[in-house]
Amino acid sequence: MVLTTTEFDTIAAISTPVGQGGISIIRISGDDAIKVAKNLYRGKNLDKVETNTINYGHIIDPETQKTVDEVMLSVMRAPKTYTKEDIIEINCHGGIIATNKILQLALSYGARMAEPGEFTKRAFLNGRIDLSQSEAVMDLIEAKTDRSMKVALNQLDGNLSHLIKQLRQDILDVLAQVEVNIDYPEYDDVETMTSQLLLNKATQVKASVEQLLQTANQGKILRDGLATSIIGRPNVGKSSLLNHLIHEDKAIVTDVPGTTRDVLEEYVNVKGVPLKLIDTAGIRETDDTVEKIGVERSRKAIDMSDLVLLVLNSSEALTKEDLELIDLTKDKQRIIVLNKTDLPAKLDLAKVKQLTQSKNIISTSAIEADGLKQLEEVIAHMFFNEGIENSQNDVVVTNARHIGLLNQAKQALDEVISGLSAGLPVDLVQIDMTRCWELLGEITGDSYQDELLDQLFSQFCLGK
């Protein structure tokens, strides 16, 4: 469904973070965008300036005729704009008072306050981008590393859309051929031929869907980050490790065991992989009420983690607490970090290898920053086997909604294949094939419900 711009009113919102800054941008979109701006702007005649130009002038309060701010005003005329509507963007000084005053004037002279994500919603409804590209806009805004940004740009460019639309066209072609064979049979074995045609196409499309789903784990990590807990008994160097990974003295580091009482969370870019680092309280038996709460939260953090960095003190022999942590994390993806290698070694490395059965054992000195690059490389290799530099132009599925729909589409294709194998009539089997076609259409927005749009775009910021 594509709507024309005449069916929308004119909206306005601040498109930059509210607060002090170099500039703020107030965006206006709709049929009356230029008309609204003309009421407030003193400078060139906006009816006569060329599209895609930026013009110097002032915003004035029409009632008092007092100048509100000195601005640069961009004019972008439909249909070659983000929303395919007329758009005005007012670049003013980045103060809260001036920015809000200009927005209030725009609202007083014909515009309506935009809802969250409404500019992007109009871009979708006006046919400029599809639904998967709309979602890529938010992914781009929230990208935590250069790699996650490239994946979002890849989707915004329409690479996923093109693949999904090609699969839908392939399904549509075979469904049309099935209908022709059923309605106008030319051969006695038309049922067999049609069944084989459906089977071949279902198998082919299923392979493509499965290939997309294989990227889902990496895509989820790039989009949401890899939940990574730094675990260990007190005073083994967990907080020092966190500080070095984030390149900031975020966690308090002392020689006193039990300094970290709560769970600290920070995002860090490790070889392009976004890590949600969780520095936990040292796990040990304690009578301290506050520390006891921190220890319990540390145990919960382990359960919620995609990766555990189990830190051991290489300058001390294994303790009872170390052995308990090795057992506690045995079912998790983990890396054993042997810290404090700047001190004389007392840890039995052979015993650690025997107990952990881990190939990922890294020796580090958080004080001297030794071994940290190797740790980062191991993390990247664990979750991106050959790195993703070589596949950054491939389609990577990052969105949970897309993953769910692809799984449902795969299930529908399984029903097609099993139905044909069981000898079900073609007209029954093609119902599942049609269902797959519809599910893939929900990814791009070729089929959708209004409730879905409201839910998706409500997650956007106001000015996007």
Name the token pair of 367: 């004080």
Measured distance CA(366)–CA(120) in Å, rounded: 45
- The answer to whether 343 touches 370, Cβ cutoff 8 Å, is no
Same domain, 147 and 252: no
Q: Any idea what DSSP says for residue 222?
A: H
Helix, strand, coil distribution of the chain in percent, nearest 5: 45, 20, 35
Q: Name the nearest CA neighbour of 312 among 323, 297, 298, 301.
A: 323
User: Distances in Å between the alpha carbon of 138 and those of 215, 454, 457?
Assistant: 19, 15, 9
Give the contacts of 113 (CB within 8 A, at least 6 positions apart).
Answer: 11, 12, 13, 107
Same domain, 70 and 107: yes
Provide the residue range defining the domain that includes 172: 137-215+397-445
Enumerate the H helices of 83-189 as residue ranges: 96-108, 118-125, 131-142, 146-156, 159-183
Same domain, 228 and 269: yes
Give the contacts of 207 (CB within 8 A, at least 6 positions apart).
Answer: none
Residue 67 lies in a domain: yes
Measured distance CA(464)–CA(454) in Å, rounded: 14
Q: What residues does 227 pair with on adjacent strands?
A: 276
Residue 455 lies in a domain: no
CATH number at residue 419: 1.20.120.430
Residue 150 lies in a domain: yes
Residue 462 lies in a domain: no
Measured distance CA(393)–CA(154) in Å, rounded: 7
Give the contacts of 268 (CB within 8 A, at least 6 positions apart).
Answer: 245, 246, 274, 275, 277
| Number of domains the chain is built from | 3
Measured distance CA(390)–CA(387) in Å, rounded: 7
Same domain, 322 and 425: no
Neighbours of 74 (CB within 10 A): 19
Residue 156 lies in a domain: yes
Write out the chain's pLDDT in tens, 464 residues.
444 444 689 999 999 987 788 899 999 999 999 999 999 999 999 999 999 999 999 999 999 999 999 999 999 999 999 999 999 999 999 889 999 999 999 999 999 999 999 999 999 999 999 999 999 998 888 888 888 888 889 999 999 999 999 999 999 999 888 877 666 655 555 566 688 889 999 999 999 999 999 888 888 888 888 888 888 888 888 878 888 887 665 443 434 344 443 446 777 888 778 888 876 655 545 545 544 555 666 677 788 888 999 999 999 999 988 898 888 888 889 999 999 988 998 999 999 999 988 889 999 987 787 888 898 888 888 877 644 444 444 688 988 899 999 999 999 999 999 999 998 888 888 899 999 999 999 999 987 777 778 888 888 777 78
Residue 25 lies in a domain: yes
Same domain, 242 and 375: yes
Same domain, 283 and 352: yes
Looking at 105, 129, 153, the residue that finishes a domain is: 129
Measured distance CA(422)–CA(428) in Å, rounded: 12
Same domain, 233 and 366: yes
Q: Name the nearest CA neighbour of 26 among 37, 13, 36, 38.
A: 13
Same domain, 230 and 259: yes
Looking at 338, 361, 383, the residue that finishes a domain is: 383
Same domain, 145 and 113: no
CATH number at residue 262: 3.40.50.300
